[in-house]
């Protein structure tokens, strides 16, 4: 299984009330030298508690993400901590944006920042450092994809929503990963085929991105092997791939959003993954 700890959390908490009160309230922010983040903890959290990092979209914030009950409550109810880091404000603008684009590298090394957040959260709250998944929406999804591509060892699994690679697409990624991409069929903000933002910046093609992930995971066939359909999702899964990898793609009928049922679908997927 992906990890027994993704399913079971011990009852005894390992952090003190004073430590928890440090920055765990919805309006509070955890500060570290490289940036800030928000966190919510499940009841009876412990050193076995798994975590989902959720990266916000352009112009949003970690506080908005951590306050989104539709996303966060299902994760908490299943015993997961939720961490919502804050992107930096873009130079000359008030909007926050992740430093994800391959041709736009300044301000902060985001992968190093996420590593700092992981270490700080483990120290403050005693959660499990080895059972963490990175997810994100829109450019938070793109940031998730680039971390999975360039720093695959940083998280156990990756779950981008409504965002993946931009052009120029990566030529290759470093190592096989466990990744589940979700996208809206009618998304016009980040269309499946991508779009021009400016002459310099262009969103990528999600289908091309999935081909990169298939190659990264050393899948034998470009076609998916398994298919399933529910009220909300049409899912495609590749299974003839590197044994240490996992790859799945889900489409839903809506637009640019995190769809209802996403959180439980992603946790079901993660908890069924092999070690």
Q: What's the CA gap between 241 and 52, in Å, rounded?
A: 25
The three-class DSSP label of residue 90 is coil
Assign 222 to helix, strand or coil: coil
Q: Which uninterrupted H or E stretch holds 203? A: strand 202-203
Pairwise CA distance, residues 4 & 131, whole Å: 10
The confidence score (pLDDT) of residue 6 equals 39
Contact 75, 52 (CB under 8 A): yes
Q: How far apart are CA 38 and CA 55, in angstroms?
A: 11
- pLDDT value of residue 1: 41
Beta carbons of 216 and 172 less than 8 angstroms apart: yes
pLDDT for the residue 8: 35
How do strand 88-89 and strand 81-85 relate by DSSP bridges? Answer: unpaired
Question: What pLDDT shows up at residue 275?
Answer: 74
Cα(248)–Cα(245) distance, integer angstroms: 10
End-to-end CA distance of the chain: 5
Domains of the chain: 4-271 (3.40.50.1820)
CA gap 261, 230 in Å, rounded: 10
Nearest Cα to 274, choosing from 47, 53, 6, 74? 6
pLDDT at 93: 72
CA–CA separation, 126 vs 83, rounded Å? 13
pLDDT tens for the chain, 275 residues: list them. 444 333 333 333 333 333 444 798 777 899 999 999 999 999 989 999 999 999 999 999 999 999 999 999 999 999 999 999 999 987 767 789 999 887 776 779 999 999 999 999 999 999 999 999 999 999 999 999 999 999 999 999 999 999 999 999 999 999 999 999 999 999 999 999 999 998 888 999 999 999 999 999 999 999 999 999 998 999 999 999 999 999 999 999 999 999 999 999 999 999 999 87
pLDDT at 4: 36
């Amino acid at each position: 299984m992906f990890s027994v700890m993704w399913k079971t959390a011990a009852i005894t908490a390992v952090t003190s009330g004073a430590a928890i009160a440090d920055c765990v309230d919805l309006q509070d922010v955890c500060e570290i030298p490289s940036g800030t983040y928000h966190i919510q903890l499940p009841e009876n959290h412990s050193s076995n508690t798994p975590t989902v990092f959720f990266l916000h979209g352009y112009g949003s914030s970690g506080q908005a993400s951590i306050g989104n009950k539709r996303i966060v409550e299902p994760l908490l109810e299943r015993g997961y901590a939720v961490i919502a880091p804050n992107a930096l404000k873009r130079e000359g603008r008030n909007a926050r944006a992740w430093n994800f684009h391959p041709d736009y590298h300044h301000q902060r090394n985001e992968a190093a920042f996420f590593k700092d957040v992981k270490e700080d959260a483990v120290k403050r709250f005693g959660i499990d450092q080895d059972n963490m998944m990175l997810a994100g929406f829109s450019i938070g999804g793109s940031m998730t994809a680039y971390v999975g591509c360039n720093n695959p060892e940083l998280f156990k699994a990756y779950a981008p929503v409504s965002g993946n690679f931009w052009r120029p697409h990566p030529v290759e990624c470093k190592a096989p990963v466990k990744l589940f991409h979700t996208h809206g069929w009618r998304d016009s903000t980040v269309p499946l085929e991508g779009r021009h933002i400016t002459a310099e910046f262009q969103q990528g093609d999600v289908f091309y991105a999935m081909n990169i992930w298939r190659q990264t995971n050393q899948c034998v066939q470009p076609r998916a092997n398994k298919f399933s359909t529910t009220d909300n999702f049409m899912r495609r899964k590749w299974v003839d791939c590197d044994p240490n990898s996992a790859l799945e793609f889900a489409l839903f009928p809506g637009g640019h959003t995190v769809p209802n049922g996403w959180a439980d679908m992603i946790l079901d997927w993660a908890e069924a993954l092999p070690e």
